[in-house]
Copies of this chain bind each other. A is one copy, B any other.
Amino acid sequence: MPLLVLGSIALDTVKTPFEEHAEILGGAASYAAVSASFFTTPHLVGIVGDDFPKEHLAFFEKCRIDLTGLQVVPGKTFRWSGEYLGDMNNRETHSTELNVFEHFSPTLPEAYQKADVVLLGNIAPDLQLHVLDQLEAPRFVVADTMNLWINIARPRLMELLRRIDMLLLNDSEAREITEETNLIKAGRRLREMGPAYVAIKKGEHGCLLFGEKTFFSCPAFPLENIHDPTGAGDAFAGALAGYLARHFGSQEISGNAEERAIDFKHLSRAVVYGSVMASFSVEAFSIDRLRTVTPETIKERFELFQRLSIF
């Protein structure tokens, strides 16, 4: 079944200690939808200005991303500019121009309102809730967030947490929301705030997945050269949610009601596919590495992840 993907679409200017690229395709929804497209049909909800390069729209279409929910309006596309310092674990934002994104308040196309699996990409909780309100009966809602929303929109974020099935966030964010330094306690606390499943992303240390009395530790892919960390979390989210949408879809075909209940093993696999796509994403600027990835290379890296943790 399709995956509804909400998020920003941006033109990024990114600098690392080694390279700089200006006005490249970016934004949470771009990374997430392209990453998800390897698993299912993404239904994209977003906004761009009339300056948005046609080649990017053509690429989205080539990825068979449904663009019915994408608004192209007069004005300038959202722009972000930032720099990665030292070992690329620290990022400095140079500028954020919201542009057409500033007053973005989407009305979902009718077909999108019936979405079963939803990814509320990293964006203001207000906007995530606004989209959630328009959904008829979503079956599995995944939401991503970041420190900015924890700091400036905590009440709305807490409201969102009560309405989603799975939360994705990184380790420092998990510690910040819960005020727990121990990540195992933080994961448990986050589950108490609403979502049945919580994935805490730890960058080079992998990812932890928490469920009801269940726990999965996903290794990190041993990467020696990271070219651009931008969008890694979004590529992770897109693949994770895309895999789950495909999984739910295949259950419908089987028609087996018992199999419809989500199995922790499928969630664990979703986290691994997320990690696979994130590991590709950082190997080049923008979504460029995702342009050359194939189902075969994804399968290969998934199997590499399996070998990493076998003993």
Contacts and interface: CB of A to CB of B under 8 A. Distances in A.
Interface of A: 86-87, 89, 181-185, 188, 202, 204-206, 208, 215-220, 222-224, 265, 268-269, 271-272, 306, 308-311
Contacts of A181: 86-87, 89
23 contacts: A86-B181, A182-B224, A183-B204, A184-B222, A185-B224, A188-B224, A205-B206, A206-B217, A215-B222, A216-B308, A216-B310, A217-B220, A217-B222, A217-B308, A218-B311, A219-B219, A219-B309, A265-B310, A265-B311, A268-B310, A268-B311, A272-B311, A306-B311
A204 to B, nearest CB: 7
A204 B182 CA distance: 9
Contacts of A185: 224
By secondary structure, the A interface counts as mixed
A263 to B, nearest CB: 11
B219 A217 contact: yes
A223 B184 contact: yes
A269 B217 CA distance: 17
A272 B204 CA distance: 20
Given A89-B181, A206-B219, A218-B311, 7 more contacts: A182-B223, A182-B224, A183-B204, A202-B205, A215-B308, A271-B311, A309-B309
A214 B95 CA distance: 42
Contacts of A205: 202, 205-206
Nearest to A222: B184
A217 B309 contact: yes
Nearest to A226: B182
Contacts of A222: 184, 208, 215, 217
A180 to B, nearest CB: 9
A87 B182 contact: yes
A216 B311 contact: yes
Contact of A309 (B183, B216, B269): B216
A208 B221 CA distance: 11
A185 B222 CA distance: 9
Nearest to A175: B87
Nearest to A269: B311
A208 B217 CA distance: 14
- Chain A to chain B: the 5 pairs with minimum beta-carbon distance, closest first: A217-B219, A205-B205, A87-B181, A268-B311, A309-B309
A206 B218 CA distance: 11
A154 to B, nearest CB: 22
Contacts of A217: 206, 219-220, 222, 308-309
Contacts of A220: 217
